[in-house]
Structure 1
Amino acid sequence: MPAFAKHAVTALAARDTFTPRDTLATLTGAVTNLTSNLLPDFLTNNPLPQGFPWGSATADNTNYYDTWPDTGVTRYYTWSIAKGSCSPDGVELDCVLVNNQFPGPLVEANWGDMIEIQVTNNLDEGTSIHFHGFLQKNSQWMDGVPGIQQCPIAPGKTFTYRTRAELYGSAWYHSHYDAQSANGLYGPVVVYGPKNAQYDADLGPVLLGDWVHTDYHDLVDELMAPYPNAKIPPSQNILINGLNPYYGADAPTAKFQVNSGKKYRLRLISAACSATVKFTIDNHSFTVIANDFVPVNPYQTDHITLSVGQRSDVIVNFNQDPSTAVWMRTFIAPCSEAEGQTEAKAAVYYENADTNSLPVSSPGANAYNTYCGNDDLSQTTPYYPITPPNPSFENVIPISAQVNGTHLLWYMAGRTFRTNYNDPMLLEAKLGNLDFPEIQNVHNYGDNSSIQFVIENTGSMPHPMHLHGHNMFVLAEGECTDNNFVFGRSDGVAAADLNNTSKAYGNCWDGHVTNANNPQRRDVQMLLPGHYIVIQWLQDNPGVWPLHCHLTWHAASGFVWSILERPDDIANMPIPSVMADTCRDWASWTGANVVDQIDDGL
């Protein structure tokens, strides 16, 4: 039996009154045999006013950025982060595991529950956990980015994350320490909440993650080799719920059981390291009901595009003969760096299908679609409408790859980034110290009510842009190919100095807004090569928040913009003393151990 199979069936360790589901039974439907475990509409040990844990709140009557339930319930989990052997595709690797599992345990909560996760670091280096897409509005210090909100958890030490499920839907968690997630430190999150479309059953998370066969430290060494020898590590395989035999290796295939005539919710989550992926099911189409943590007005498509960190919740009508078996497919789009196997398949069996045989269905017309952009902005209108206000601050931020004298790094408006694990920015801001080193790329937006960025990418690589602590309005996108115009002054008189952030950069945006009264909102938006995106967010969450490309190797190479939001409110923030204690533990450990931080640390 492959090592992965031995780890996969370990039950979720939890301290709670509800019965935890076996992680892989929930996620894959099977490792070596088929099951049909489904997720509930909600966890039922909450008080149930009006029949739901969230009371009378619905998807269309509650602004979830301002109002969320307080259920009085806390979901407790206990995790050990440690190295362990795994072989999700049949190739053995020393992985970074949660409770000896890959993918990590499923985290479940109802909307408004508190989530408390006790994390013990049994690695020989630091670690941290980021709950992707969580707003952290009353727990800004729990965002899990080392050097920004916290010091890393030192080896042998325990740190407890505690946050409220302020939004609902599908998400994931991952390490934000260096590139640990590339070797497995991630897992799914489901927050049950009101429905914005009807379906019969919830098939649960479908994690789509690319995979590498090399220790991430060695890959970072390749990435940070002196110019011109730097190499962006390519994806070598793609997994569905942690499974996909590598070129016929002796490893299991993910399997799902469905019933004919039923509509199922699938929670598609990109836990990729760097790949943009396409998702299809042969001979079936999708109704999209959410993008990231934002329920949307349902729309139809036959394929889903997810860049790193993005999620789409879809409903699939399994309306074929009960003896049907079909392939579920995910494909690494050619805009991604890949060398190896670029397609994963999982078997979907109707109730009377022969589960001892693999499907023989053919891919649909868009199974190998090469377009790397997200669905058209005109399609993706939030179910709860919000009209953005006029921004109080605007900026144009061009992206460039530059050599700093020895290494090739990413720059945003002429600035690159490196974190200081020992001195988190949020803790400094709490003390009133707002004069940060230039390399931390901090920008103080004061008490501005709303910020608007035009981010311009005239280069050849895609960039999934992720903002912590907020859902972004995505106002517009379009072509932006004239490098001389973008990096020259907007009047075209002189070339811009990329190290002078006061320069007026050329603005590719023509001022149009798609769905001005209710534009798309999400926490990751794909920025295509030769394109711009226009994003805006409300400054309603004081803190220090990274805006970064979510490709692991780009984020590691300086592609981070640090947003200092409402520093006067940070001064009054009730940051608990455990944050300082964690820094003392980290300082003690680093006083006796050298931290191998050759990249920017994120």
Structure 2
Amino acid sequence: MGSEVILKLVVCFLVGALTHGVRGEDPYLFFTWNVTYGTISPLGVPQQAILINGQFPGPNINSTTNNNVVVNVFNHLDEPFLLTWSGIQQRKNSWQDGMPGTNCPIPPGTNFTYHFQVKDQIGSYIYYPSTAMHRAAGGFGGLGVNSRPLIPVPYDEPADDYTVLIGDWYTKSHKELRGFLDSGRPLGRPDGVLINGKAGKVGAKQEPLFTMEPGKTYRYRICNVGLKASLNFRIQGHEMKLVEMEGSHTIQNMYDSLDVHNGQCFTVLVTADQAPKDYYIVASTRFLKEVQTSTAIISYSNGKGEASPELPPAPVGWAWSLNQFRTFRWNLTASAARPNPQGSYHYGAINITRTIRLVNSVSRANGKLRYGFNGVSHTDPATPLKLVEYFNMADKVFKYDVMKDEPEKVTDLSVQPNVVNMTFRNFVEIIFENHEKSIQSYHLDGYSFFAVAIEPGTWSPEKRMNYNLLDAISRHTIQVFPKSWAAILLTFDNAGMWNIRSEIWERTYLGEQLYASILSPEKSLRDEYNIPENTLLCGIVQGLPKTNSYT
């Protein structure tokens, strides 16, 4: 038996023994990822990129509901590194979240094994680096979760499954971009747009990205992995049937194009029902002064013609995008995993116990550009928040609730760890209020929430009359248009330390994020797992014994 096989069996046994509540019959998927630097030139300029197993973008993970995913990550970079699994609801297990507030980064020349279960969810997700500005260099990829065979999906099995990662791109290295932000200047506009790591131009020779057979229907998982720009996605000559969004089956409307905001993923069905030839996939920036566009080719298997140089037009204005959001509805009749706790999908009948208004702020603290919420710009301490909390040392590192639930008028941002103490199992209303002229996109780890409203203007309690309390999409990201607000509802029932952040990464890096601490009052394994034996320790908890706090 080879050493690699033995290692996998040992990891399987240890992780299975240490992570309580995982059913023995649920399959394991094992991956070994080597994270390295490499040189790429997607926009014609040679630049350093972050590769996973030599790939840019990184490898896709294809899983099924309840699979245990074990990813052994070897960090060959010259800096500490972490990956976060965006949208994967790791029940009772923020230990695997991969954010600097929950995990010590993987030191250069070492490895760390993630173990999480894609439990009770389906859909299209992404992973990406959460440390520094590494996301600007790559290290991202797709993560699909398929429904188990016994749980039908509301459409016929597609002929194939294609992942499309779209995103804006900068030609400067991640270290240069980080230097800009550290010196107090913003990143500026991106240099281009990539589709699966390439920037295609109309008329230039391109190898087909995907091939379709006439008459067959294909599933496309479309995700925006970029740093800054919302993107419009369309396929020349083809309509797209929206069937899933960030873990929820949707009402199956047809779309000529879709606005995909930072961090968001859509799943669509596309039928090869046009003349057999080549067609362009198009991704173009939205809400920027200068539109940037990239293309890729899909080819019919028996096609004999080149794609037309006339691209389908992009929509204009954010009102169009707002109206599109209002067409997204949850498919309540589809068989699928429902959010926890069971019954919470009747969210319109649950009483709100707390309202938090988060107003994004921008200012210069000590002469440098900072972003934040309600006057607080988050900074990560040397020891992850989750670890100091678990070892009962939080009072040495941070204070809870330095940010108020209601925004106050501030001129300068306070730079400190921003941790909000959430009561376990409370049903909470969060308002994201955007007073700026640019669009925002926000994400919550560890949960899905009900995106009940997006409207122009300023929120007030009377606006609850306009909420969708029946079939709002259960998802994990939401956009907020300029001078507008968005409302989400959720039950904070997943114990752990979970990150709420901007998906516009320069804003995240400069403090527009916070952590929600959800502690189980009973300290029971029914609510949260104990610290895994392989957890990295750093800062003030370095060398401490890993005790089992929960029983």
Short-chain TM bin: 0.7 to 0.9
- Equivalent residue number for residue 372 of structure 2: 411
Give per-residue Cα distances to partners, 1:21-77, cap 9 Å, x unaligned. Answer: xxxxxxxxxxxxxxxxxxxxxxxxxxxxxxxxxxxxxxxxxxxxxx99875210000
User: Relative to structure 1, is the Cα distance of residues 442 and 523 closer, same or farther in structure 2, using a 3 angstrom cutoff?
Assistant: same
User: Relative to structure 1, is the Cα distance of residues 584 and 445 closer, same or farther in structure 2, using a 3 angstrom cutoff?
Assistant: closer
Q: Which moved more, 1:210-219 or 1:399-408?
A: 399-408
User: Relative to structure 1, is the Cα distance of residues 458 and 394 closer, same or farther in structure 2, using a 3 angstrom cutoff?
Assistant: same
Amino acid at match of 1:151: C
Unaligned runs of 5+ in 2: 7-20, 339-344, 403-415, 544-551
- Equivalent residue number for residue 168 of structure 2: 210
Aligned runs of 1:290-309 on 2, under 5 Å?
A: 290-309=244-263
Cα distance in 2 for partners of 1:477, 1:454 equals 10
Instruction: Give the one of 85, 99, 105 matched to 1:152.
Output: 105
Amino acid at match of 2:531: P
Cα distance in 1 for partners of 2:485, 2:500 equals 15
Aligned runs of 1:141-220 on 2, under 5 Å?
A: 141-146=95-100, 148-166=101-119, 167-193=121-147, 194-220=152-178
Residues 276 and 372 in structure 1, CA contact (< 8 A), matched pair in contact too: no
Cα distance in 2 for partners of 1:125, 1:263 equals 44
Cα distance in 2 for partners of 1:451, 1:418 equals 25
1:516 aligns with 2:469: yes
1:240 aligns with 2:195: yes
Q: Could you tell me the TM-score, scaled by structure 1's length?
A: 0.76
Cα distance in 1 for partners of 2:236, 2:493 equals 43
Q: Which moved more, 1:568-577 or 1:383-392?
A: 568-577
Residues 92 and 495 in structure 2, CA contact (< 8 A), matched pair in contact too: no
1:123 aligns with 2:80: no
Residues 392 and 448 in structure 1, CA contact (< 8 A), matched pair in contact too: no
**Pairwise CA distance, 1:584:** 7.1
**Pairwise CA distance, 1:550:** 0.4
- Equivalent residue number for residue 387 of structure 1: 346
**Pairwise CA distance, 1:337:** 7.5
Give per-residue Cα distances to partners, 1:333-374, cap 9 Å, x unaligned. Answer: 1x2486xx71111112222213xx641253234467765548
Q: Which moved more, 1:516-525 or 1:124-133?
A: 516-525
Cα distance in 2 for partners of 1:131, 1:270 equals 14
**Pairwise CA distance, 1:78:** 0.3
Q: Could you tell me the TM-score, scaled by structure 2's length?
A: 0.82
- Equivalent residue number for residue 452 of structure 1: 429
Amino acid at match of 2:384: P
SS at 1:119's partner residue?
Answer: strand
Size of the aligned set, in residue pairs, is: 489
1:347 aligns with 2:297: yes
Cα distance in 1 for partners of 2:44, 2:25 equals 43
User: Relative to structure 1, is the Cα distance of residues 473 and 343 closer, same or farther in structure 2, using a 3 angstrom cutoff?
Assistant: same
Amino acid at match of 1:576: I
1:316 aligns with 2:274: no
**Pairwise CA distance, 1:511:** 1.6
- Equivalent residue number for residue 456 of structure 2: 479
SS at 1:177's partner residue?
Answer: coil
**Pairwise CA distance, 1:286:** 1.1
Residues 166 and 225 in structure 2, CA contact (< 8 A), matched pair in contact too: yes
Amino acid at match of 1:170: S
Give per-residue Cα distances to partners, 1:304-340, cap 9 Å, x unaligned. Answer: 111111010001122112x33211111111x2486xx
Instruction: Give the one of 451, 466, 473 matched to 2:443.
Output: 466
Amino acid at match of 2:66: G
- RMSD value, Cα: 2.8
Identity of aligned residues (%): 21
1:376 aligns with 2:325: yes
Aligned runs of 1:326-345 on 2, under 5 Å?
A: 326-333=279-286, 335-336=287-288, 342-345=292-295
**Pairwise CA distance, 1:380:** 2.1
SS at 2:378's partner residue?
Answer: coil
Residues 227 and 505 in structure 2, CA contact (< 8 A), matched pair in contact too: yes
Instruction: Give the one of 40, 43, 55 matched to 1:101.
Output: 55
User: Relative to structure 1, is the Cα distance of residues 102 and 15 closer, same or farther in structure 2, using a 3 angstrom cutoff?
Assistant: farther
Cα distance in 2 for partners of 1:587, 1:236 equals 41
Residues 502 and 513 in structure 2, CA contact (< 8 A), matched pair in contact too: yes
Amino acid at match of 2:308: V
- Equivalent residue number for residue 75 of structure 1: 29
SS at 2:26's partner residue?
Answer: coil
Residues 374 and 525 in structure 1, CA contact (< 8 A), matched pair in contact too: no
Amino acid at match of 2:448: N
User: Relative to structure 1, is the Cα distance of residues 174 and 586 closer, same or farther in structure 2, using a 3 angstrom cutoff?
Assistant: farther
Unaligned runs of 5+ in 1: 1-13, 17-66, 482-505, 589-602
Aligned runs of 1:280-299 on 2, under 5 Å?
A: 280-299=234-253
SS at 1:269's partner residue?
Answer: strand
SS at 2:297's partner residue?
Answer: strand
Amino acid at match of 2:387: L
Instruction: Give the one of 378, 402, 423 matched to 2:383.
Output: 423
1:362 aligns with 2:322: no
